[in-house]
A and B are shown apart, each in its own frame.
Chain A
Amino acid sequence: MAEAETVMGLHQEELQHPELLHHFADAEQQRNSASLGMWVFLGTEIMFFGGMFCAYLIYRHWYFGDFGAASKSIDATLGATNTAVLICSSLTVVLAVWAAQTARKTLLVTMLTITMLLGLVFLGIKAKEYSDKFEEHHVPGASFSFNNAPLPHHPGQYANPRHAQIFFSLYFMMTGIHALHMIVGLGIFSWLLCMSWKGRFTPTYYTPVEVGGLYWHFVDIVWIYLFPLLYLIDRRR
């Protein structure tokens, strides 16, 4: 019995950590659970985007040339800029996690802020792209028009506007839902920023930064796949 009590006593000391929730035995279990939870959630996200990637794959195969012609009408420079912006933001997220682990509060706050600014830049460029598409009548629907776009590798032939409309439907769905995930990410990071401003994260408790960072990286990686599929499939001059 005495032994058991000492063990319980040690156990109680461990429980003193202020961020430890009541139903976890120790901080290690809590961190592992949160991390596994986010990984599993990202698995569901892969399936969520997977439905659209599957649709893309099939239609790209069916309407190969039309997709190429439609893709050519999107501004690849804006897309490339956005890719660079997101890759930079992934770096700042990693630095933020490192700052939290090593108790550098100022650095943590700075990195989170820069990440959010980069996210906003991404969304701004995205809005510019959407507005261009709107002006060019490339938004699917009644006013859609995509005429006289030459088919790649078929001189003298033009892309089928109806098939191009499928491309633009996928373009708007995929980038739109990706942008929605960016907005959710900005929400999460505002909360993280608030918490780190208050100094809630310590070298023994930084799981939210790590888990939020995982989410941010995932959204970046989705973009890494979207960029070539939507912007780069037919850039040969």
Chain B
Amino acid sequence: MSMGMPTVVPQQRFERETYLNKAYGVWSWLLTTDHKRIALLYLVSITFFFFIGGFFALLIRLELLTPAGDLVQADTYNKLFTQHGMVMIFFFLIPSIPATLGNFLVPMMVGAKDLAFPRINLLSWYLYIIGGALMLHCMLTGGVDTGWTFYVPFSSNFTNTKFVEAGIAIFIAGFSSILTGLNFVVTIHRMRAPGMTWSRLPLFIWAHYATSIIQLLGTPVVAITIVLVAAERALHLGIFDPRLGGDPLLFQHLFWFYSHPAVYIMILPSMGVVTEIIACFARKRIFGYQFVAFSSIAIAVFGFLVWAHHMFVAGISVYSALVFSFLSYAVALPSAIKVFNWTATLYKGSIHYDAPMLYAFGFLGLFTIGGLTGLFLAALGINVHVTDTYFVVAHFHYIMVGGALMGYLGGMHFWWPKISGKLYPEGWARLAALIVFIGFNLTFFPQFVLGYLGMPRRYYDYSHMPEFQVLNVLSTAGSTVLGVGYLLPMVYFLWSMRYGKPASDNPWNAAGLEWRTASPPPTLNFDVEPVVTWEAYNYEELDAPPQTQEVTVG
């Protein structure tokens, strides 16, 4: 090389090393301990299960297109709604945001190089895969028909489907969820960068902290419940068996002690995502930071005290029902605090209508409807009237799909440039957000009406009440629109990985440590260990032109 020649700076000629191009090959992924790669492993796996669960949902909706039970048999229908629930809850919604976006972002947001226990993080993915493989095997060789709630004594003594296998699958997936929560708690406590105090943490982190608490304290209880039911079925122990004097209601208490807070495992991370998005696209510091932060903790705590509102008609004491009804109202307070603070953040904000923000708006509206109908259900009188109707089905889909899934999609769009280093096509993304919103409401709003009019859930044949067909047709039509809305992002995300425009380090000009490193980030997240000297959501500072900062003193 001659000295006199004009040279090109070598760094520009070679591609920068990122977590994506550091190593290639299957084993570099399957044996990775990098939280970002594990997040992508999870992303692929949960997407797979999402489409399986979605396929079951479409079959359910197709069956209900006509009042007669003409597409599938009654037994098959029972298995369809059971597997739809089990797959969507335990293999998609519970891991959805925490295991993908949370895994990717928690260490970066607190300024750490990785989660506290990287190998346990990988172990949690393998446990998820083992549980998922068992569940797949169970579904392919007959499936389960107990409903996702697997109430005893049907699940323990009567069903002739493969409950034990499904139970083990859920048990293992639950263990994976516990390990994720454990990793987050320790990381948030012990791995924060210098200057990253608790009150400077992004609210995404607070939401994940609250989620982890529920995962840690709730999941073991459903785990032991599954063990007890499986032992009752396989070894003929009798802990819930009414023939021996055992109490099936005890099962329901133990089951809902986890499974009610599990709803908050699904919705709290979504709230965290929406908080980040709203602050960024309104260009404002979040209104009432501490209230939003502690309302997450309050939801986690109250969430453990309301479980018996699933059992108002199951024969519990009316006095305890009164208390649980009251506490269920109480859990609306922290949720309302969040919604009001998001709205106050939007007030006089300079709002940008990019795709993540459209999803966040969708979340706000749908979560509010889902939450308010939750109050209907917390009221004893109305609860008795609409128990086991489509009103309940519509309510929890507004929370879990309208809320949790909208937040998940919003977050995927918001952080996609960081994850992949590529920009997704904005026009398509806005269209998809619109399709999802319309499809969702078309699918589930008619179900509120159906339920209030008295259509029971879990019926495959409603030929004795043909007047419900119009609303069911609307719902089925909506579900196909919704399906398109979910396929679209998958297609253009995949497309953008190859053909998308390269993303800058901070395409949204967002606050937060994860935006202060490269897109996609290097394996150790930051080239220089970050030191935090600013408050969270300092959008006013970010947007202020430099000269105005200089003349402030005086």
Contacts and interface: CB of A to CB of B under 8 A. Distances in A.
Interface of A: 21-23, 25, 29, 32-33, 36-37, 40-41, 43-45, 47-52, 54-55, 58-59, 62-63, 140-142, 160, 162-163, 165-166, 169-170, 172-173, 177
B491 interface: no
A143 to B, nearest CB: 10
A166 B190 contact: no
B239 A173 contact: yes
Contacts of A23: 112-116, 118, 191, 524
Contacts of B112: 23
Given A44-B219, A163-B245, A140 B238 contact: yes
A44 B190 contact: no
Contacts of A177: 224, 227
Interface string B166-187: 0000000000001000110110
Interface string B505-523: 0000000000000000000
B184 to A, nearest CB: 10
Main secondary structure of the interface of A (DSSP, over half): helix
B215 to A, nearest CB: 9
B116 A43 contact: no
Contacts of A59: 246-247
Contacts, number: 114
A49 B191 contact: no
A36 B220 contact: no
A36 B217 contact: no
A162 B112 CA distance: 56
Contacts of B481: none
B185 to A, nearest CB: 6
Nearest to A39: B186
B345 interface: no
B117 interface: yes
Main secondary structure of the interface of B (DSSP, over half): helix
Contacts of B182: 37, 40-41, 44
A27 B64 CA distance: 61
Contacts of B117: 33, 37
A162 B186 contact: no
A47 B217 contact: yes
A124 B238 CA distance: 26
A29 B218 CA distance: 28
Interface in B236-256: 236-239, 243-247, 250, 254
A48 B221 contact: yes
A162 B244 CA distance: 5
A119 B65 CA distance: 61
B224 A140 contact: no
B223 interface: yes
B189 interface: yes
B199 to A, nearest CB: 21
Interface string B370-398: 00000000000000000000000000000
Contacts of A141: 235-237
B114 A62 contact: no
